[in-house]
A and B are shown apart, each in its own frame.
Chain A
């Protein structure tokens, strides 16, 4: 059954296979030949008075139809979903919202020619010359306008251009990150404008079929240490409660050199629970001398989407290194939806 679904998908879409030749900036934008694609922005910001904010802005694309007929204006070939959240850490508030669109006359999309990724008026406009990005997101309750500048070149995760997620050829994604984006701008909340600055992280993944049926969700960490290094880890959980052997990570040193971390080189240990979610963690990478505790001041950073529920939130780092990061936990309160899992 699963195989048939895979074969069906592959009739219209490409799988993420080793040896993919990356070319930037082209590969920062759309890959309609893959069924699923996302552009994931998270960040920790502080205003001039020290008030802390976290943000998430994610653009998802899911191919739903690759028929041979040329698409008419309103035909839905891709569903564009976007998630937006603001964590008002010191205000104790988590605000989130989502929207769905079709490409239509340009309602949502990702375009190299226009150098932007957008869903309505949530958009990221790139300046390809200076490698900076202008981000804008607007909700009736809050909005922000941020300028993101990459301090390090993009990181390609995994081996040979693919980040393997499960056993089998093509059960993988092409996974690229900007791990250190210097961020400045304004956040408007409850009619007040805050001048903010901080660090953001951007993930871009595209694939056709990655998880397998025995996997129930994942815990994903993006940690930015004060010493100029970053750590990305993901732990895939199996339905029987064990960690999947395909869990992996990447360490980026201060100069941008990357080290791939296999399953047996790190450990992540869940701590205190908020609802079903373990919001405190201990992360150990013995080979790098990393042993840090992750905590959050705002445990309610659960994104309740119409299609899905997951926890995505700003965390603080203490221990052998200090810093801030983002933590994502899926498959606890609700199964990972088909749009992501396919």
Chain B
């Protein structure tokens, strides 16, 4: 079922709500205000909104400078341009300088749809995860985003937020609580655990149902914060189920599968399988086509889970 709210609505509303009492919150855009829809923030706080035009490096540098003066800048672009386009500025001016800048990359992976391969960030989390001490988070739906925004604002440090702009598939009900640094267990299972993030969480829920019908007891862990990763929760899943499938809307390299593997290899080696984009570039298309093309469907999760169970 689709969410009632678009993720970007919740993002902007959360910023406005917080900015009413926190005068340090500022928004810096690079000509995508009308895509992420931060216009209402600009209307409410015109002195704390800047649009630098199509210049992501400058956007990030200005945000770093604002942060040195105690501001909490939120700057955004499509995930491709918020990360790889201005990687060195994020690395040096923000992260290495230890500045409290929040970078929002929208339209993760195949969500870029008909903007196509040039706009399809399948590597963004991998890029940001490689920067020391960068917090990397991918909120699942509007309920989670609403709960996490105040925590993200309170967190002091460089942060990358991988954000769907439009309506996500609903996973959580209003009132659900989240800790930015703790993975969220959706179900326990003794045969395998699906570790998922972003658009893959709702597909994992569907895959679990199908596997249940086939007689398997499969758990789900939503690892929405990729870094710092909740090692304890992952190790518990490995102990409990003895097999792990990682499902992500990202390239298989440097993404969630890599991050989870780092934990598993060092702590509790168990069979692992990956549902991810297998080292390919994106292309134009709608979600159903792209999901099939890149093997990111519920069926792919089911198939990989059965494979992992067989390897136990």
Answer yes or no: are A and B bound together in one complex. no
Where the two chains meet, the residues of A that have a C-beta atom closer than 8 Å to any C-beta of B are: none
List residues of B whose CB falls within 8 A of some A CB.
none
